[in-house]
Amino acid sequence: MHILVLGGAGQVGTELQAVSWPSGVTVHAPGRAELDIADADAVGSALDRRAYRAVINTAAYTAVDKAESDIVAAWRLNALAPAILAAATAARKIPLVHVSTDYVFAGTKPDRAYEPGEPIDPQSVYGASKAAGELAVRTGNPRHAIVRTAWVVSPHRANFVKTMLRLAAERDALTVVDDQHGCPTSAADLAEALAAIAQRLATDESAPTGTVHCVNAGDTTWCGFAEAIVAGSARRGGRSVPVKGIPTSAYPTPARRPANSRLSTASLTEAYGLRPRPWRAALDDILDRLVGPVSEGVSKP
């Protein structure tokens, strides 16, 4: 069974290549220089090289603030490319698993997690381009799974965990936004879910299709997440510094962020039987890899 992974150099793509796939499954992850997924001819040629049983698209333009001025590039990768992938995979009867984002929602819903079927209302160029990509996949290939996620972190590439560890080593205190709520997500856990969904679609014609949410269990704020990162690092011998919460208004950015990025994973469990673990457990695994194991005599919370 051949599986094509797009965006293989990113956090989730890297973890997809590390998944313990069943015997007989071969994952192919061409780099950006090898395959331009916004080029219809290139995509068609790539799909015709092997008898792919599923395609997993993790590639995206994720520079949220830069997208506000780099509109063409954001829409090319987040909207045009998924449209091309959907058409090309549908023509070859290949299921497509596509990763999307919490930014398709306005983020104004009070204190409850968003369900997949709720109305979307993106507030940024990034969110709008990802919403357009969802629509292209939804209408272009009937055998699809759109997997929305949020706050993805890992030991790879630039992300919030690595940034907080770096800043904690450089500064005497951290100030972090404390009025944006969401669900941290391990790229490794997301990759395991994507792999399971792709295999199900590849082997079961009656497998569920549609949109699901995949984030680790539990929620917090960016400030609460930063506090957990710093505390976890300190238990492993890292530097401990105070973390102070600030309002979003004190940290203006070009793109508007959702105040509520909570995503319900009930759809993921119902469709595929997958139940993500708590985000704190996932964070421990990441810190073990970035900082080291918990110092002797210090227990995990």
C-alpha to C-alpha distance for 179 and 265, rounded to whole angstroms? 22
Catalytic residue, candidates 52, 103, 114, 126: 126
8 Å CB contact between 96 and 199: no
Strands (E), 154-291: 174-177, 181-182, 185-186, 210-213, 220-221, 243-246
Name, in order, each residue with C-beta under 8 angstroms of 138's C-beta and a sequence gap of 6 or more: 144, 146, 211
Residue identified by tokens 């829409």 is 75
8 Å CB contact between 144 and 202: no
**Active site (annotated) includes residue 272:** no
Determine how many CB atoms are found less than 10 A away from the CB of residue 52: 20
Residues designated as active site = 126
